[in-house]
Amino acid sequence: MALQDKYKELINAASAAGVQNLQVREQDNVLYIDGEAATGQIKDNLWAIYNKIDPDFRAGDLIMNINVSAMAAGARAKVTTASSNLNIRKGPGTDQPIVGKAEHNSTVTLVSKMNDQWWLVRTDQGEEGYAYAQYLAVQ
């Protein structure tokens, strides 16, 4: 039986749960499943499915590297610009109009990740828009 068939339920559950950057590959008779889960509960559910398929994890034919995103919605991030304020934009891109600013060393709340470069954030003043992720550090 191919490993992807053996662990089909696990792969499907990861996909259905919205695991980001989900990668499934088979190498040297080992199946690797990598990705980023939005919550610890999703990761726990995947481990429970794995234990159901391979009780006590004895087969040694799967490596599951699912990390829990530190940047789940509601997380706080510090503005790490060198000294200036961080522009908050209407859309994800420097071509988008500026709708607000987050002060240097202030914190913002993550609303969602557009991608690895642009995050939708909300300032403590309620301004919401996209900020360049390079200038944000998860707290």
Domain count, the chain: 2
pTM above 0.85, yes or no: no
Spatial contact of 121 and 54, defined as CB atoms under 8 Å apart: no
Query: What confidence tens digit (pLDDT) does each residue in 115-126 have?
Result: 778 888 999 888
- Answer yes or no: do 56 and 84 share one domain: no
- Answer yes or no: do 58 and 88 share one domain: no
Q: Which of 6-10, 43-47, 71-75, 98-102 has the lowest mean pLDDT?
A: 71-75
What span, in angstroms and rounded, lies between the C-alpha atoms of 33 and 134? 27
pLDDT band at 12 (very low <50, low <70, confident <90, very high): very high
Q: Is the pLDDT of residue 133 over 80?
A: yes
SS percent in the chain: helix, strand, coil, step 5: 25, 40, 35
- Answer yes or no: do 84 and 53 share one domain: no
| % of the chain beyond a pLDDT of 70 | 96
